[in-house]
């Protein structure tokens, strides 16, 4: 990074980083739901129950939010 | 919607997924289709434009050179330098190719007489996403070694060990499945939906024009909205090419970074 225009460059950089964080967060939430919801759905099919999908979805959502907080929240 | 239109006129054929199924124009040659032709056309156009714009490069640039360099420096400075940081130069050719290639192929959606966005056929974005996928994982593995790279992805530092059972599957799924999938599907869905939207308004407007006098009066509005949407599409097309390249740059930057 050139030192002559640190101010606006830094601003733009953080804006782009935020834009990237937005998509990363979206990807995390999506994979949380897919992975744990999928595991729950699989358990439902296997054990012939109907509540594991819900548990899995909630678990996945929670875990994904935790992951987002770990990655972007604690600075 | 199709039902309403069908009720007003006789047999309006609403546009749908079938409008993207273009049969080969040479019988028996499976790959001689419009999207593939457009793909080659885009490569020819991009090469031609940038060769012509850079051939007589001068210190005081001509308009053409200015345009070519504008696009190049946008990708190089805005996406390369700002996101990847030092070491960005060797990724600029890939980012630049990706950006211009997607951009021109998206523009085909609103260029008169061509009017088909290549990326609305899902295989093309898939291939682009696979290339990006290979690039950023290769970069990460090369920089940090296989084991350290995988460890970095799968195990977030500063978490009690049992929690990894919960988090590691999500991390793995994000990096290896969701990332390339969202990358390609976002581009595909935007181009597909945009083209379909334009088809609805222009084909619908045309059909209204053929209808009763009351419908004829309404039809210009359909065309006006269609034209407005064309400009809207123009923005989406630029935005999608930009986002694809931006995310590629971010993924490469992430793979290069030692710590997240």
The DSSP code sequence of B31-44 is T-SHHHHHHHHHHH
Probe site for chain B from A17, A31, A75 (most B CB atoms < 10 A)? A31
| A58 to chain B, closest Cα gap in Å | 12
Give the pLDDT band (50/70/90) at residue B2: very low
- Distance, in Å, from the CA atom of B23 to the CA atom of B30, rounded to the nearest integer, reads 8
**Distance set, CA B154 to CA B29, B69, B202, B248, B253 (Å):** 45, 40, 49, 20, 17
Give residue-wise pLDDT tens across range B110-144: 998 888 999 999 999 999 999 999 999 999 999 98
Give residue-wise pLDDT tens across range B196-239: 999 999 998 888 888 888 888 888 899 999 999 999 999 999 99
Average of per-residue pLDDT across B15-35: 84
Give the pLDDT band (50/70/90) at residue A53: very high
- Distance, in Å, from the CA atom of B234 to the CA atom of B198, rounded to the nearest integer, reads 12
Average of per-residue pLDDT across A39-60: 93
pLDDT-above-70 percentage for chain B: 95
pLDDT value of residue B126: 95
Report the chain A residue with the minimal C-alpha distance to residue B163.
A63
| A63 to chain B, closest Cα gap in Å | 6
Compare CB distances from B174 to A16, A27, A66 and report the shortest one's residue: A27
Cα B155 vs. chain centroid, distance in angstroms? 32
pLDDT value of residue A24: 84
Residues present in chain B in total: 260
B25: nearest Cα among B41, B11, B36, B12? B36
Residue A18 sits at the chain B interface (C-beta within 8 Å): no
pLDDT value of residue B199: 92
So where are chain B's domains?
A: 2-256
CB contact under 8 A, A26 and B85: no
Question: B215, B80 in Cβ contact below 8 A?
Answer: no
Report the chain A residue with the minimal C-alpha distance to residue B173.
A31
Return the minimum-mean-pLDDT range out of B124-133, B150-159, B163-172: B150-159
- Distance, in Å, from the CA atom of B94 to the CA atom of B182, rounded to the nearest integer, reads 20
| A45 to chain B, closest Cα gap in Å | 20
pLDDT value of residue B258: 60
What is the torsion angle, in degrees rounded to the nearest 10, for the CA atoms of residue B58, residue B61, residue B65 and residue B68?
110
Question: B95, B79 in Cβ contact below 8 A?
Answer: yes
CB contact under 8 A, A20 and B179: no
Identify the H or E element spanning B159.
none
B120: nearest Cα among B37, B38, B189? B189
- Distance, in Å, from the CA atom of B31 to the CA atom of B29, rounded to the nearest integer, reads 6
Average of per-residue pLDDT across B60-85: 87
How far is it between the farthest Cα atoms of chain A? 66
Give the pLDDT band (50/70/90) at residue A13: low
Residue A56 sits at the chain B interface (C-beta within 8 Å): no
Which residues of B touch chain A, with CB atoms under 8 Å apart? Answer: 78, 81-83, 85, 156, 158-159, 163, 166-167, 169-171, 173-174, 177-179, 182, 243, 246-247, 250, 260
pLDDT value of residue A10: 58
Helix axes B63-73, B34-55, angle to 10 degrees: 110
**Average pLDDT, whole number, for chain B?**
88
DSSP B207: H
- Distance, in Å, from the CA atom of B210 to the CA atom of B227, rounded to the nearest integer, reads 19
Report the chain B residue with the minimal C-alpha distance to residue A11.
B82
C-alpha angle A18/B191/B111, rounded to 5°? 115
Alpha helices in chain A (DSSP H): 6-47, 52-68
Question: B248, B128 in Cβ contact below 8 A?
Answer: no
- Distance, in Å, from the CA atom of B11 to the CA atom of B9, rounded to the nearest integer, reads 6
Q: How many A-B residue pairs are in contact by the CB < 8 A criterion? A: 65
Q: Is the pLDDT of residue A17 over 90?
A: no
Report the chain A residue with the minimal C-alpha distance to residue B174.
A31
Q: Is the pLDDT of residue B160 over 60?
A: yes
So where are chain A's domains?
A: 21-73
Residue A34 sits at the chain B interface (C-beta within 8 Å): yes
Average of per-residue pLDDT across B176-205: 93
pLDDT value of residue B132: 95
Q: Is the pLDDT of residue A43 over 80?
A: yes
B251: nearest Cα among B157, B153, B185, B170? B153
Beta-carbon contacts of residue B35 (< 8 Å; ≥ 6 apart): B22, B116, B118, B121, B124
Return the minimum-mean-pLDDT range out of A9-18, B90-99, B144-153, B161-170: A9-18
Compare CB distances from B82 to A12, A30, A36 and report the shortest one's residue: A12
Q: Is the pLDDT of residue A14 over 80?
A: no
- Distance, in Å, from the CA atom of B150 to the CA atom of B137, rounded to the nearest integer, reads 10
Give the pLDDT band (50/70/90) at residue B6: very low
Q: Is the pLDDT of residue A18 over 80?
A: no
B226: nearest Cα among B248, B208, B204? B204
CB contact under 8 A, B169 and A16: no
Compare CB distances from A32 to B81, B158, B170 and report the shortest one's residue: B170
| B109 to chain A, closest Cα gap in Å | 26
For the entire predicted model, the pTM comes to: 0.85
């Amino acid at each position: 990074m050139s030192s002559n225009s640190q101010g606006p460059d830094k601003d733009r950089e953080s804006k782009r980083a935020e834009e990237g964080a937005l998509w990363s967060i979206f990807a995390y939430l999506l994979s949380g739901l897919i992975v744990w919801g999928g595991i729950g759905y699989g358990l439902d099919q296997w054990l012939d129950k109907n509540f594991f999908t819900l548990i899995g979805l909630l678990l996945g959502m929670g875990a994904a939010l935790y992951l987002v907080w770990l990655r972007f929240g604690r600075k | 919607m199709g039902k309403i239109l069908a009720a007003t006129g006789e047999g309006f054929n609403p546009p749908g997924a079938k409008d993207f199924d273009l049969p080969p124009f040479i019988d028996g040659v499976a790959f001689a289709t419009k999207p593939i032709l457009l793909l080659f056309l885009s490569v020819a156009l991009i090469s031609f434009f940038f060769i012509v714009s850079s051939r007589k490069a001068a210190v005081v640039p001509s308009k053409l050179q200015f345009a070519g360099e504008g696009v190049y420096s946008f990708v190089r400075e805005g996406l390369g330098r700002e996101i990847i940081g030092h070491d960005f130069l060797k990724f600029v050719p890939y980012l630049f190719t990706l950006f211009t290639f997607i951009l021109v192929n998206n523009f085909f959606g609103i260029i008169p007489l061509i009017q088909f966005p290549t990326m609305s056929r899902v295989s093309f974005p898939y291939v682009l996403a696979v290339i990006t996928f290979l690039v950023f994982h290769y970069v990460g593995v090369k920089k940090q070694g296989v084991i350290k790279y995988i460890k970095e992805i799968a195990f977030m530092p500063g978490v009690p060990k049992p929690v990894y059972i919960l988090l590691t599957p999500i991390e793995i799924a994000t990096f290896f499945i969701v990332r390339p999938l969202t990358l390609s599907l976002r581009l595909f869905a935007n181009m597909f939906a945009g083209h379909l939207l334009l088809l609805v308004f222009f084909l619908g407007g045309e059909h209204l024009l053929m209808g009763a006098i009351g419908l004829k009066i309404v039809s210009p509005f359909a065309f006006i909205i269609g034209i407005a949407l064309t400009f809207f599409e123009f923005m989406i097309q630029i935005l999608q090419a930009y986002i694809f390249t931006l995310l590629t740059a971010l993924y490469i930057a992430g793979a290069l970074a030692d710590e997240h």
